[in-house]
Amino acid sequence: MNLSSLKRYLGLYAALWKNSVTREMSFKGNFILWIFVEILWFGLQLSFVSVIFSQTKTIGTWTQWQMVLLVGASNFIQQLYQAFFLTNCTNLSELVRTGKMDFLLLLPVNTRFLVSLRVVDLGAFVNALFAVCVMTFAAVKLQLHPTLGQFLGFGALCLVGILIHYSLMFILATICFWTVRAQGIVWGYYNLFNIARMPDEAFRGAFKAVFTFALPVLLVSNVPVRVLADKFYAPRAWLLLLGAGLLWAMIAEWFWRFSLRRYTSASS
pLDDT at 268 over 60: no
pLDDT category at 204 given cuts 50, 70, 90 is confident
Confirm whether 147 is domain-assigned.
Answer: yes
Q: Which domain holds residue 214?
A: 3-262
Mean pLDDT within 14-41: 82
pLDDT category at 234 given cuts 50, 70, 90 is low
How many whole angstroms separate alpha carbon 176 and alpha carbon 99? Answer: 12
Confirm whether 195 is domain-assigned.
Answer: yes
Query: What pLDDT, on a 0 to 100 scale, did the predictor assign at position 224?
Result: 92
Helices 3-26 and 28-53: crossing angle, nearest 10°?
90
Mean pLDDT within 174-187: 79
Number of domains in the chain: 1
Mean pLDDT within 153-158: 93
Confirm whether 268 is domain-assigned.
Answer: no
Confirm whether 267 is domain-assigned.
Answer: no
Query: What pLDDT, on a 0 to 100 scale, did the predictor assign at position 201?
Result: 85
Percent of the chain with pLDDT over 90: 36
Handedness of CA 212, 129, 58, 224 (dihedral sign): positive
Mean pLDDT within 58-82: 92
Give the distance from CA 256 to its chain's centroid.
Answer: 19
Mean pLDDT within 35-44: 84
pLDDT category at 60 given cuts 50, 70, 90 is confident
How many whole angstroms separate alpha carbon 88 and alpha carbon 96? Answer: 12
